[in-house]
Amino acid sequence: MKQFILLTLSILYIQFSNAQINEIGVFGGGSNFIGDIGSTQYIAPNAPSLGLVYKWNASPRHSWRASIVYSDLKAYDSDSDDPRRQQRDYYLDSNLLEISAGMEFTFLDFNLHSEDKLITPYLFSGISAVNYINYYYENALPIDQNKREWTFGIPMAIGIKSNFLGNFILSFEIGARYTFTDQIDGSFPENTSEDYSFGNINNNDWYVFTGFTLTYTFGEKPCYCID
């Protein structure tokens, strides 16, 4: 039985290895915050974001994807159309680190070993872990609590990609991130700072990444390709 299990695992490993099409690359773009501070526009990048991306293409229509992105995060009440926010004049000048994993689904077949120039829209979703600065506001000034917190989130993105650069895949993407916290902007502090809460405590924070991804493809030709 032991030999049978080892043989089965070896066969699966060989087939899995031969079926791999990998992508690795970089993401560059901008971020904007959606919460209790700043503009209420959903897509308005105003701070830089940079990250690394890895994809394993399981078929011409879907791939598993993992990424790590570091981003500044800025929001200013003075940019809001809401006169109450303008009068309050709070601001957010922070940063975060996001680690995410999920599935990317293309609307059209995207065979990376095809000699044709391909282009397709796609959707992405999964789960993320977000590390952010914990602070609160006192007399309209942010007070750093000298610690960072983790929370989970759900990334939801739409994009378009093409292989017109050969082994390099260029993508443009807009991705909203829903988080399971209302504290990224310091509006719902815990413990001794609870008296400094403001805004809508029933709505959690969001942020959006907008930008380009450039990945390089490598790996052996998988079984779904046509010779």
**Where is pLDDT greater, at 40 or 160?**
160
> 112-159: per-residue pLDDT in tens?
878 889 999 999 999 999 999 988 787 767 777 778 999 999 999 999
Q: What is the pLDDT at residue 12?
A: 43
Diameter of the chain measured on Cα atoms? 74
Q: What is the value of pTM for the model shown?
A: 0.84
How do residues 70-116 score in pLDDT, each as one tens digit?
A: 999 999 999 999 999 999 888 889 999 999 999 999 999 998 878 88
Average pLDDT score over residue span 56-61: 93
**Domain limits, the chain:** 2-218
Tell which CATH classification among 3.40.50.300, 3.40.190.10, 2.40.160.20, 3.40.640.10 matches the domain 2-218.
2.40.160.20
Q: Confidence class of residue 198 from pLDDT cuts 50, 70 and 90?
A: confident
